[in-house]
Amino acid sequence: MAPLGFVGAPASSFLGRELSTRAKCSSRPAHARRLRMGLQVKTAPLPNSQVSIEISVGKEECSAAWDSVVRDVTKKATIDGFRKGTAPKQIVINQVGKERIKAGACEAVIEKSIQKALKDSGLQAIGQAEVDGGVETVISNYDPKSPLNFKIKIDVWPEAKFTESYDNMAVEAEEAPFEEALIDKALEDMRKKQAFSVLAPEGTTASLGQILAADMVGYYKKDDGTRGDKLPEIADGKSIEINMTEGQYMAGFVEGLIGIAVGETRDVNVAFPENNPRPELAGLKAIFEVTCHAVKDNVLPELNDDFAQQVSEEKTLEEFRDTIRARLGVETEAAQEKNINAGIDNKLASIVEVDLPESLVENQVKNKFANMLSSFKDNGMSDDQVKAMVTKENFELYKKRAKGNVEKNLKVNFAVSKIAKEKDIKIDAEEVENQIALVRAELKGQEMEEEKIRDQVEAQLERDLVLKYIKETATVTLVKKEEGKSE
């Protein structure tokens, strides 16, 4: 059974119209078709979830394919001295070329016979079918008056096997403890948002955490390090406030203003980030002339009942702390549930054996790579910058880092599908439609890939039900997070 959550573009044929195109197969079973064709099929398993298929097509099918191509070509042929579609077949063959008709007929035979061989064998194929010796070799052996024999190799959906029972599993999950310090941090963040500024004492020079009132003019930076022409107006301003917080602006800007005094004018060298939303500024090296008019101190409001009433509907600070504690408690519970799910994934990956086909792994890595590039674009990277990242070297580097995690996720997905099948866990069709309707509403009329969305919704609902089933019998042990371990 093919697990949910893997959708590729449905292949309309196993061979493209170009002779160099290899046979393709959808990652989902093809729609049922009546393929009346006489052929003999022999299958043999290969490593990495591949199957070798020997196909022998009768001479009647080979002859019928030839006649069909000749008929189609004759209907469309325009030949001097004849009305369209009325020229004698032999004249059409001579003009079009016997080899082209032979190639078209053979390709039709291969395509149809592969579909029927897979259907008759009950195989759920994925990836690309590799024709032994190449399509050109099979075409050269094709004779419309004789049987045709050829062999293919194709990846198929693997079968998951468990090395131990998934019932009554012992699962370890990272603890997500509730920390009172989180309440203090939340309150401190709110104080910063409510902060106001006052003029610093006379003679104060700028430091981190303060605010400057300043005029700013930006210039292009020449190769020799001197000023060039002025930057676009978006990069300057008068009487603006500069928050002296590291990382607030382009790299080096705030740091270059530390120590500036009221009345002082200073040049600051900066580099705009590569993903700047303004393409004309992306990656640009510049010089900013900054004239300081005032240095201000940030004043945080006192943490008391008045503050609680100002930022919330509570009357006392203690009541406000309780409200924050309850909200953070819900977030902690959600984090703990997420960690338990991750622990179950780890356990399933350790007790399931799946002979993953390389084509499936490759396809999933490509999807993740494409999603990463798409997120870069959404975060402001220009089209040219994104295109520059699409290289074989970058993909191979990404694949090296991502492959292990992709293989683990695939194994877990196959394990989930196996459990759903064995325990007869069914997803609710009405819930699927409800979820798809929500997605459609969020897109607000934008075009969506309904088959892909449906597959993802079904996969998530199936996963949720399987995880629920596992948790009913699993013994979960919470372990403390290792110090220094990143999220």
Does 364 share its domain with 428?
Answer: yes
Residue with tokens 């990404």: 398
Range of the domain at 283: 196-298
Does 346 share its domain with 474?
Answer: yes
Count CA within 13 A, CB hemisphere, residue 146: 9
| Domain at 51, CATH number | 3.30.70.1050
Distances (CA, A) of 176 to 108, 332, 340: 59, 6, 10
Cα distance between residue 299 and residue 293, in whole Å? 19
Number of domain units in the chain: 3
Does 294 share its domain with 355?
Answer: no
Does 351 share its domain with 470?
Answer: yes
Confidence class for position 26, pLDDT limits 50, 70, 90: very low
| Domain at 392, CATH number | 1.10.3120.10
Does 106 share its domain with 205?
Answer: no
Nearest residue to 109 via CA among 72, 76, 69, 75:
69
pTM above 0.75, yes or no: no
Does 32 share its domain with 137?
Answer: yes
Does 208 share its domain with 143?
Answer: no
* 318 within a domain of the structure (yes/no): no
Does 109 share its domain with 231?
Answer: no
* 309 within a domain of the structure (yes/no): no
The residue ranges of DSSP E strands in 111-264, in sequence order, are: 125-131, 148-156, 161-162, 170-174, 196-199, 211-221, 227-230, 237-243
| Domain at 233, CATH number | 3.10.50.40
Does 462 share its domain with 344?
Answer: yes
* 253 within a domain of the structure (yes/no): yes
* 321 within a domain of the structure (yes/no): no
Q: By the 8 A CB rule, do 127 and 359 touch?
A: yes
Does 62 share its domain with 139?
Answer: yes
* 311 within a domain of the structure (yes/no): no
Confidence class for position 6, pLDDT limits 50, 70, 90: very low
Amino acid identity, position 427: I
Does 50 share its domain with 99?
Answer: yes
The pLDDT value recorded for residue 277 is 67
* 451 within a domain of the structure (yes/no): yes
Confidence class for position 8, pLDDT limits 50, 70, 90: very low
Confidence class for position 272, pLDDT limits 50, 70, 90: confident
At 164-215, the pLDDT tens digits run: 999 999 999 999 988 889 999 999 999 989 989 999 999 999 999 999 999 9
Residue after which a domain boundary falls, among 133, 157, 181: 157
Does 77 share its domain with 140?
Answer: yes
